[in-house]
Amino acid sequence: MSAREEILARIARAVAGAEDVEIPRDYRTEAATGDLVGLFAERVDDYRAVVHVLPAAEAAGLVAERVAGRRMIVPDGFDLAGHESWPDLHTADGVVTGCAVAVAVTGTIVLDHGPGQGTRAQTLVPDYHLCVVRAGQIVSSVPEAIARLDPSRPLTWISGPSATSDIELSRVEGVHGPRTLEVVIST
Amino acid sequence: MSATFLGMPGNFPKNSQKAVQDSQLRYNLRKATHTIRGKRASVVGELPDWAELRAAGKAIKDHTLRNLDRYLVQLERAVQDAGGTVHWARDAAEANRIVTALVKATGEREVVKVKSMATQEIELNQALAAEGITAYETDLAELIVQLGDDFPSHILVPAIHRNRSEIREIFLEKMPKTPEGLTDDPPALAEAARLHLRERFLRSKVAISGANFMVAETGTLVVLESEGNGRMCLTLPETLISVVGIEKLLPAWRDLEVFLQLLPRSSTGERMNPYTSMWTGAVEGQDFHLVLLDNGRTGVLADEVGRQALRCIRCSACLNVCPVYERAGGHAYGSVYPGPIGAILTPQLRGMGSELDASLPYASSLCGACYDVCPVAIDIPEVLVDLRAKAPHAAAEKAGMKVAGWILDDHRRLAAAQRIAAKVRGLVPKKRLPGPMSAWTDTRDVPEIPEESFRDWWERNERA
Ligand code: SF4
């Protein structure tokens, strides 16, 4: 018998006669109403990320300012006039991206690496990640985010900068991922 | 499963006795468990629907286990449809053979690894080394453990038994090109690890990971982490091999909405861990292999009481509340799964043939704190008691357990026994029991018997 057949047969024997289980789903699918932008900003700030809330026009200005003079990766599909993308992943100062969805209650940004979001490596290797979140992309809860996402795409959920607590539980930012995460929320 | 942690013979009482005499270890453990425990309690308290999420998590896992064969086949199909290759491994040896062959086929002699308990369980690193392949751990704590020729002592923070000056010494001694004048400041140590590992990430063509979850419906694998070493391993190399226990399955994409709330809050005590990666099959041009691991799990599944241990999502919350773990430390359990979950999972996976494994069901005070915090409501005390009945023991202890079981089984008998105990409490010796029961009190004090049982007190006060 192949390993596959044997394992499947062992399982069938092990659970024979066991009753099936109904899954209760009376947990909340929406976590908050009201000021999602404010809640998201507060929760992102809790992770020691830098966060700004600005009207769209000013947000664009801030992004342009942050990108100017830095060797920044600007992925295809990211709308930033007049800036050339830095080609080398390993010598880039940083990367600027949009996102697919954001979760207010956990302060999480999710990238699906579609247009304007770069590859997975591009948002990982450089030390600085500047991320633009549109207010309309913010949902309240994890269930709402899951419902919006497409599992056939690679997905990266980011909650604050890279961090470790492995040495005496003292929190250190950035062992491998970007040490600085800056989030611009455009309203 | 081969006996993991070969460096640790003996049994739990013997191992833990050594640990409780190590005051540094006790201090580190106490600080760590209490800190994480406090953080967990506060973020769990933020969710008004925690009880509902926990009930859903438990039910999803039980439903999956009940239909595991069907869902595994569905997962296999979904991963293949997305360009991945699926392998099945009956035991550790088979899994190690599969992974070794896959690495050899790439022509590489080095692999990078994401922290994974499944690969520790099967001792993959040793198996690879025997074939001339070096596996490098990339999680900072795992790196500390690996360089120090040591064993992990906690699920979440494996190097928690080491302090900063010990870590500095390990780095200076074992890490090539450590910066001169390295201090024991945590940021400096983390920076040294960053430099050391970055080179390795960029060079490595093969990575090995585990996974926190696999979704049958979509074929998606999910890894939660903090540092980004996971993302480095998962995305940069050309070949990715994931070794995952068959119990890590979830039926539907939607089920992640439950577990992405339960796991981070129970584990690190954060609303969300810094990074979560999800991928389905071969992505961004990578060659992807999934090795599905049994290694004793189907045996656990066959046990009606014990199978609930397979719901475990390895959050480590039960370790942090366990008074026994806090004093004994993770090494005393002699397995990659320490603490309360280790005490029930290890003897089930390995059987209770060795002295160590037979002693594990006793590595608990049965206080029930582990059950209260468990995000998937595993009744660890229930499984412990069940395993104790199955473990080989001395006749006296067996008889005592039988009596206790008979009394506890029926609330009237229990009430009567408590009343009798209250009456004769003056006669019971304070510290040591006589005769065959003395073995029991060698390692414990006799609990003080109250003047009146809680039941009687309640009755009296309710009536009044
Ligand atoms: S048994 Fe429960 S509390 Fe312990 S690690 Fe597993 S899921 Fe977490």
Domain carrying residue A39: 31-186
Q: In total, how many domains does chain A have?
A: 1
In terms of C-beta density within 10 A (0-12 exposed, 13-18 middle, 19 or more buried), how is residue B173 classed? exposed
Residue spans per domain, chain B: 47-295, 395-463
- Low-confidence residues in chain A, pLDDT < 70: none
B137: enclosing H helix or E strand: strand B134-137
Give helix B50-66 / helix B68-81 axis angle, nearest 10°: 90
In this predicted complex, what is the ipTM?
0.97
DSSP sequence for B268-326: TSSSS-SEEEEEESS-TT-EEEEEEE-TTHHHHHT-TTGGGGGG-----HHHHH-HHHH
What is the per-residue pLDDT for B395?
Answer: 44
Q: Is residue A23 part of a domain?
A: no
pTM given for the model: 0.87
Q: Is residue A103 part of a domain?
A: yes
CB contact under 8 A, A107 and B257: no
Q: Is residue A18 part of a domain?
A: no
Q: Is residue A11 part of a domain?
A: no
Q: Is residue A115 part of a domain?
A: yes
Per-residue pLDDT reduced to its tens digit, B60-102:
999 999 999 999 999 999 999 999 999 999 999 999 999 999 9
d(CA A141, CA A39): 11
Per-residue pLDDT reduced to its tens digit, B103-133:
999 999 999 999 999 999 999 999 999 999 9
- Which of chain B's residues have a Cβ under 8 Å away from the Cβ of A174? 190, 194, 228
d(CA B178, CA A106): 37
Residues 6+ apart with CB under 8 A from B106: B205, B206, B238, B239
Q: Is residue A21 part of a domain?
A: no
What is the per-residue pLDDT for B449?
Answer: 63
Per-residue pLDDT reduced to its tens digit, B228-237:
999 999 999 9
B312 lines ligand 1 (CB under 6 A): yes
Query: SS3 of B113, please?
Result: strand
Q: Which CATH architecture has domain B47-295?
A: 3-Layer(aba) Sandwich (3.40)
Chain A residues 49-78 with a CB less than 8 Å from chain B: none
What is the per-residue pLDDT for B8?
Answer: 47
pLDDT at B419 over 60: no
Q: Is residue A38 part of a domain?
A: yes
B378 lines ligand 1 (CB under 6 A): yes
What is the per-residue pLDDT for B58?
Answer: 98
Residue B401 near residue B388 (C-beta atoms within 8 A)? yes
pLDDT at B32 over 80: yes
pLDDT at B160 over 90: no
Structure tokens at A164: 């470790």
Q: Is residue A48 part of a domain?
A: yes
* Per-residue DSSP letter, B445: P
Nearest protein Cα to ligand 1, atom 2: B374
Out of A25, A124, A168, the one facing B56 most closely (by C-beta) is: A25
Residues 6+ apart with CB under 8 A from A71: A86, A91, A92, A93, A94
Query: SS3 of A100, please?
Result: coil
CB contact under 8 A, B90 and A170: no
Residues 6+ apart with CB under 8 A from A81: none
* Per-residue DSSP letter, A27: S
Residues 6+ apart with CB under 8 A from A122: A73, A75, A89, A95, A97
**Shortest Cα distance from B45 to chain A (angstroms)?**
14
Residue A24 near residue B59 (C-beta atoms within 8 A)? yes
**CATH code, domain with A42:** 3.40.50.10420
pLDDT at B272 over 90: yes
What is the per-residue pLDDT for B138?
Answer: 93
- Which of chain B's residues have a Cβ under 8 Å away from the Cβ of A21? 59, 62-63, 66
d(CA B446, CA A122): 62
